[in-house]
Amino acid sequence: MLVFEYPERSQWPELLRRPVFDNTALETSVGNILADVRQNGDAAVRKYAQQFDKVQLDALAVSPAEFAQAAASLDPALKKAILQAKHNIEVFHKAQQESGKVIETMPGVQCWRKPVAIEKVGLYIPGGSAPLFSTILMLGIPAVIAGCKEIILCTPSNAKGEVHPAVLYAAEQVGLDRVYKIGGVQAIAAMAYGTESVPRVHKIFGPGNQYVTCAKQLINKDGVAIDMPAGPSEVAVLADETCVPAFVAADLLSQAEHGPDSQVLLVTTTPDIIKGVQEQVAAQLATLPRKDIAAKALENSRIILVRDNEEAMDLLNAYAPEHLIVACKDDITIADAVINAGSVFLGNYSPESAGDYASGTNHTLPTNGYATAYSGVSLDSFVKKITYQRLTKEGLQHIGSTIEIMAAAEGLDAHKNAVTLRLK
């Protein structure tokens, strides 16, 4: 990680720049796959499963027997951990439920807003080098709590046509029984457009590689909603003299191991901790099975020394990290200055991994600077807020002239007449 001491604000945009990739060629190839699946359905899905995942799929859907076998084969300790995480995530997301509170804006004029679940949602769970069964909890639990009527899940199988048992166990515990052995762009296409086996959905959630991300962006142009724009995983750590360098290094590496295009950032007001963190990063990196991936990510990463916490927070808000860890003595006070971040972790004993798995908050978060305008996934992500109003005769008499005057001023006489006729 390169170190930058007291950079001028004019240098910040360059220092905080994420890795940039040219997606022009990617969009063409991804677009071709989307079009093929849209036109040829299951046949195209099977073709791409053979081409990319090296698997010959007969049935696309996971069978009840496969669910049962997964539950029987999974380590009991992992089952217990999944259930503990499930409980915490449920508690946090159930607390987000709202009831439609009626507001009387003036006598006889009542307005309210009612959350209504999105009827059909699709969840994408990557496989590849790390089957992200934790993401099933993060997406499936709020979808179920929201009351979505149709929830389907796509995830790639291995070359034998088997889905990782932890993925199936987590899905079953959440209450998801419609799981399809489809990965990559073809999975996004199947959920977006529907096939003979896979129903079409209204909104698609879930992380993925650059191909999946590109596919989600393209189907969004076709009118299928997605959870949010997404990019490689990232973490920023703000640390002072009270931090534990080993903890900071571990947090940096926990994101760096996601992929070579991930980025991590250490911002500090304390020069003395930099060497200690660097030494810990090197020592811990050497022991990681995914050390080559993490090392590549560290090439995109920075250590930035700033003058004080105010400057640090200005810089971090400009970066808008997916994850922000505040390992400082005044963590609660500093947290009040956070404007742009996906999720914030306060103190020396709040590792980012807690939010990734089991504290209760959602780990599906805006990356690539989108935290300036987007929130992470929550119960709200699975509902629409429909507004209602009910006016009594008295209410229309109170507000009618206001509507008539405004409609006339805009030259919309039919709008005015809709009120005038009633008042007469």
Q: Encode the chain (424 residues) as per-residue pLDDT tens digits.
A: 999 999 999 999 999 998 877 777 899 999 999 999 999 999 999 999 999 999 999 999 999 999 999 999 999 999 999 999 999 999 999 999 998 899 999 999 999 999 999 999 999 999 866 689 999 999 999 999 999 999 999 999 999 999 999 999 999 999 999 999 999 999 999 999 999 999 999 999 999 888 999 999 999 999 999 999 888 899 999 999 999 999 999 999 999 998 888 999 999 999 999 999 999 999 999 999 999 999 999 998 999 999 999 999 999 999 999 999 999 999 999 999 999 999 999 999 999 999 999 999 999 999 999 999 999 999 999 999 999 999 999 999 999 999 999 999 999 999 999 999 999 9
Which among 164, 323, 363, 404 is annotated as catalytic? 323
Please check if 209 is assigned to a binding site: yes
- Rounded to 5 degrees, what are φ and ψ at 318? -70, -35
Please check if 124 is assigned to a binding site: yes
Tokens representing 156 are 């790639």
CA distance linking residue 385 with residue 373, whole number of Å: 19
CA distance linking residue 360 with residue 171, whole number of Å: 17
Q: What is the pTM of this model?
A: 0.94
| Cα dihedral 116→118→119→123 (10° resolution) | -150
Residues 6+ away with beta carbon under 8 Å from 418 = none
Please check if 323 is assigned to a binding site: yes
Please tell me whether residue 113 adopts helix, strand or coil conformation. strand
The b/e string for 24-40 (b: 16+ C-beta within 10 A; e otherwise) is eebeeebeebbebbbee
Q: What is the pLDDT of residue 423?
A: 96
Q: What is the pLDDT of residue 128?
A: 66
Please check if 233 is assigned to a binding site: yes
Please check if 186 is assigned to a binding site: yes
Please check if 258 is assigned to a binding site: yes
Examine the residue annotation and report whether 322 is marked as an active-site residue of this protein.
Answer: yes
Q: What is the pLDDT of residue 232?
A: 86
Q: What is the pLDDT of residue 127?
A: 84
Q: What is the pLDDT of residue 129?
A: 62
CA distance linking residue 106 with residue 399, whole number of Å: 8
Nearest Cα neighbor of 13 from 369, 371, 306 is 369
Q: What is the pLDDT of residue 231?
A: 81
Q: What is the pLDDT of residue 161?
A: 93
Please check if 227 is assigned to a binding site: no
Nearest Cα neighbor of 123 from 83, 87, 159, 175 is 175
Q: What is the pLDDT of residue 230?
A: 81
Q: What is the pLDDT of residue 100?
A: 83
Which among 66, 172, 234, 322 is annotated as catalytic? 322
Examine the residue annotation and report whether 394 is marked as an active-site residue of this protein.
Answer: no
Residue type, 41: G
Q: Pairing mode, if any, of strands 225-226 and 203-205? A: parallel
Q: What is the pLDDT of residue 208?
A: 87
DSSP for 6-42, written as a single string: S--GGGHHHHTPPP----HHHHHHHHHHHHHHHHHTH
CA distance linking residue 133 with residue 341, whole number of Å: 24
Q: Are 264 and 293 in contact (CB under 8 A)?
A: no
| Domains of the chain listed by start with CATH number | 2-19+232-360 (3.40.50.1980), 24-103+114-226 (3.40.50.1980), 392-423 (1.20.5.1300)
Please check if 110 is assigned to a binding site: no
